Structure 1
């Protein structure tokens, strides 16, 4: 009798192992979304807008290179809908495709400048996607100079999926000094919570390619785009805030162009907060690199020439950094250098007293004294020490 009860108990337990997932969706029924673009169609009033959204969905048959009607089928399809909210637009997508949207493979979200410049709108849209439990925190976000749908609509010859191409371009180009690192959804979430100002890579479509066009500056408290950093200004920002392993610095000696290839940079920042009305920030930038290119026939192996090169590179680095600082303080009124985070970490009590007047209110950031010094070291001159000579190498 006991054995029969034991067998019945085991059989009953096995029933739970045989049950399937209640929310299972067959892979054939999923619409794998790899890219999203968002444009502002109309502003109807305060906090009332009409948005246009495009989703790029993978067509598996196109990835396999199948042929239909003598031509190769595209590996993607772009579906567009408009509405007053992201939720409303998502419902309209359901009527345009038989596939259930699936966002776990999403690579990039492209947002137009019009949306980024509208107070609170960019923040509200990002909040929708941050809440989505299918959305990965590694999704990249970029701002488009033109309509966002045009960026997602490029069709590069070497890539079958435009969104994947954009994702790759952002990763590769981030190795240079004049392009800002890709910004991911998880980073934006943190920045929205802290109300810190930040920058997002800015792109533009050109000849079925995507080109970087500086960086969009988002003010933390107004949550809107307040300006743009050019390529040279982005160099200054990267030199101050990042440890770089790529890029180059152009400089001249006696009207001769030289290229300093950056191998590594490191910055140290010290902040004096004794007087809140005269906060002083000292930035020191150390750089290591080599001479990648030069014009002229003079040897580089002379000690005095080495010192002159290092001095000129250091001056150029300081020039880039000061240009960016000047724009951030005088034009943008936005702390894009993460000084606020350093104040919070190192001078917490003082930060609690001034945080509401840092880059808003009294705008203490704009009135800070910021000093920059650089020290560049040349580690090598390449295979030869002359580019034009009569035979000596």
Structure 2
């Protein structure tokens, strides 16, 4: 009798482990979505915003073998309009043979038109943040024009536009004119803290085949509304202050000759104090190490005097770029995109409690902060040669 019970228990246990996944879906039945674009619909029919969502689905037959040409496209873009992202994706599922599957979604492109509407960006991000199928590593970017056009680019070297865009963003560390990719996990943090922030801004080339960086979009944390942009040069100043990007170059002049400083490492330290008059004083020290990447002229570099002049020239240029960005953020954009508020909260909590409702809105205390920037650039190498031409050897 006991043997029979043991046998029955063993059989039941085996059945439990052999039951499989109840919600399993065959891979050939999945519609892999790799990119999403969000625009405002042409017509707004109610008090709620109508948005146009464009989804980029992978067409496996178009991927082909490596080196193979011809055949169908490797992707198809499907657009739909509605007031709710849930409503839209359910409708899109009725237009395809495979239901949308988002675990491989790489990029979310949002048009400036959407970004400029108060709170709309936060609303459309809500579904991407809540849905457990969405990954926190998805990159969020802003399109200068219609976002759907970004997903329609067709570069020669990549069959899937969304994958191409994702790869371009990964190379941003090579240029100080752009910021590192912003993932939706970071966007979620910004939305929770009401902190002003920036997102990469892109546009298409004239032929519509590729994308190019176009500075950054500045979003005010108070209402998650885009309030302006920073150019490539202004983005450099932002990166120097926030230590967002270690790469890039600095162009400067020595004796009317152009010289290029290639940045290999940067660091910054920020000191923030509240004086007796409740004014905020901020001191920023920027450090950089790098090498001379290119120069025009024929003078030797390997002299102490020349080295000092070069390092001073680089430092002054970095200070100038940082100050230009600070001025624009304080006077034009009224947005603290440097994280000063977080430092003030950490180091002067009692003072922060008095200022938090008027930091970069209301009375706008941020605009009246006294900010001083000093930079110290060090040249570690001049490359394979110390001059372009030795006149004495001619």
- Bin the TM-score by the shorter chain: over 0.9
Aligned 8 A contact 2:173 2:246 in 1? no
- What is the CA distance between 1:127 and its match in structure 2? 1.0
Instruction: Find out whether 1:6 has 2:6 as its counterpart.
Output: yes
- What is the CA distance between 1:348 and its match in structure 2? 2.1
Q: How does 1:33-182 map to 2 (within 5 A)?
A: 33-42=33-42, 44=44, 48-65=48-65, 71-182=70-181
Instruction: Find out whether 1:330 has 2:331 as its counterpart.
Output: yes
Relative to the length of structure 2, the TM-score reads 0.96
- What is the CA distance between 1:243 and its match in structure 2? 5.6
Between 231-240 and 2-11, the greater mean CA deviation after superposition:
2-11
Counterpart Cα distance in 2 of 1:65 and 1:73: 13
Counterpart Cα distance in 1 of 2:166 and 2:216: 16
Counterpart Cα distance in 1 of 2:57 and 2:97: 12
Paired residue secondary structure (1:200)? strand
RMSD in angstroms over aligned alpha carbons?
1.9
Counterpart Cα distance in 1 of 2:254 and 2:393: 21
1:211–1:263 distance in 2 versus 1, CA, 3 Å: same
Instruction: Find out whether 1:185 has 2:184 as its counterpart.
Output: yes
1:266–1:260 distance in 2 versus 1, CA, 3 Å: same
- What is the CA distance between 1:65 and its match in structure 2? 4.1
Counterpart Cα distance in 1 of 2:298 and 2:319: 28
Between 238-247 and 266-275, the greater mean CA deviation after superposition:
238-247
Alignment correspondent of 1:368: 369
Counterpart Cα distance in 2 of 1:224 and 1:21: 43
Relative to the length of structure 1, the TM-score reads 0.96
Deviations 1:18-57 (A, max 9, x none): 2122211111110000000011024638851221111001
1:43–1:285 distance in 2 versus 1, CA, 3 Å: farther
Alignment correspondent of 1:239: 240
- What is the CA distance between 1:275 and its match in structure 2? 3.9
Paired residue secondary structure (1:79)? strand
Alignment correspondent of 2:267: 266
4+ long deviations beyond 3 Å: 42-47, 65-68, 274-277, 390-393
Deviations 1:305-347 (A, max 9, x none): 1111111111000000000000000000000001111112222
Unmatched 5+ stretches in structure 2:
none
Counterpart Cα distance in 2 of 1:188 and 1:30: 28
Instruction: Find out whether 1:295 has 2:303 as its counterpart.
Output: no
Aligned 8 A contact 1:42 1:49 in 2? no
Aligned 8 A contact 1:66 1:73 in 2? no
Aligned 8 A contact 1:218 1:226 in 2? yes
Counterpart Cα distance in 2 of 1:286 and 1:74: 48
Between 235-244 and 342-351, the greater mean CA deviation after superposition:
342-351
Alignment correspondent of 2:307: 306
Paired residue secondary structure (1:72)? coil
Counterpart Cα distance in 2 of 1:276 and 1:87: 52
Number of aligned residue pairs: 392
